Amino acid sequence: MSTTSPTKVLVIDDSNTIRRSAEMFLRQAGYEVILAEDGFDALAKISDHQPQVIFVDIMMPRLDGYQTCALIKQNTLLKSTPVIMLSSKDGVFDRARGRLAGSDRYLTKPFTKEALIEAVEQTLKLVLNPPAAVSS
């Protein structure tokens, strides 16, 4: 019997519908899911649960997704944790702003179960097998 604990995924979104959908899809795929309603709620849960992947909605009250992502990436203990931005906006500006905040990926809402799981799997694959540095 394997003693490996399931991968922890944190979903930060002010929409209960999005949180619950993501939770259902991720749990069905075998992930442990932590939910947070906003950036402030998330920061406490990140400290307590140490997730391996974090999904952050961009448009949230109090502390938006860009600010939340930047705070995660500025923390020396958390900066290597992959952050995937969630947004109903799919513009170049929104993606670029997410990258500037430090996000690793961008997923457009509404998302399918397949797209959500694929985002987690591809992100974890990159973390576990980073591309080799090119030397000249």
| Chain segment 56-99, per-residue pLDDT in tens | 999 998 899 999 999 999 999 999 999 999 998 877 888 888 89
| Least confidently predicted of 2-11, 18-27, 105-114, 123-132 | 123-132
Top pLDDT among 41 and 133 is at: 41
Confidence of residue 127 (pLDDT cuts 50, 70, 90): confident
pTM, rounded to two decimals: 0.90
Task: For residue 86, give the nearest of 8, 7, 25, 14 by alpha carbon.
Answer: 14
Q: Can you give the pLDDT at residue 3? A: 52
Q: Can you give the pLDDT at residue 90? A: 76
Q: Which domains does the chain have, with CATH numbers?
A: 8-128 (3.40.50.2300)
Which two structure tokens, joined as six digits, stand for 93?
């500006």
